[in-house]
Amino acid sequence: MREILKQGDFVVFVYPKMGKSGEFLPQILKDKAGLTGCSAQTKGYENLQAEFNKLGFKIIALSSQKLAEQEQFKADTNATFEFFSDEKFRLKDELGLKTFKTDDGKEFYFRQTLIFKNGVLAHSHKVAEPENDAKNTLEICKNLR
C-alpha cells in the first residue's frame, strides 16, 4: 500500500469495525469517542467523494478486518472507493497507526485519518466524531492545495 500512496494524493481513513469484539472493550475504552460509527464515517466519505476527487484526492478505507468481512461492509454501505485489509498489521509501524486490544485478545486500529499529498504524509488526526470526519477532512484538503 505504501507504494500506492507514493503515487499521488490520498485520504486514508482507518476504522476499527469491531463487530462482536465491541462487547469485549476494556472499561477504559467503553466511552472513548470515535470507537463506534464506522458506517456513518464510510457513508460520509462516499457522499463527499466527488468533492475530494475535484481536489485530486482519492479515498482509501483501511481496517484490520478480514477481506471477506471488509467486502461485505463495503457492499452494505454502498461505498465505491478502495478498501484495504491489513489484518496482519503490516502498516502499523510503517504508517505510525495506533491500535488497541479488546478483552477477548483481538487487536484493532483506532479510528484515524491520514492525508497524503504528492506521496508524502501531510496531515493525520484521530477521529472523535466519525459522522463529521469526511466533512472536516475535506476542509483540511482544501487548505493543502
pTM of the model: 0.88
| Residue from 132, 131, 104 nearest 22 by CA | 104
Predicted local distance difference test score (pLDDT) of residue 92: 94
Burial (CB count within 10 angstroms: exposed 0-12, middle 13-18, buried 19+), residue 78 = exposed
Q: Give the H/E segment covering residue 100.
A: strand 99-101
Predicted local distance difference test score (pLDDT) of residue 18: 52
Predicted local distance difference test score (pLDDT) of residue 45: 98
Q: Where does 2-143 sit in CATH, by number?
A: 3.40.30.10
Which stretches in the chain have pLDDT values below 50? 21, 24
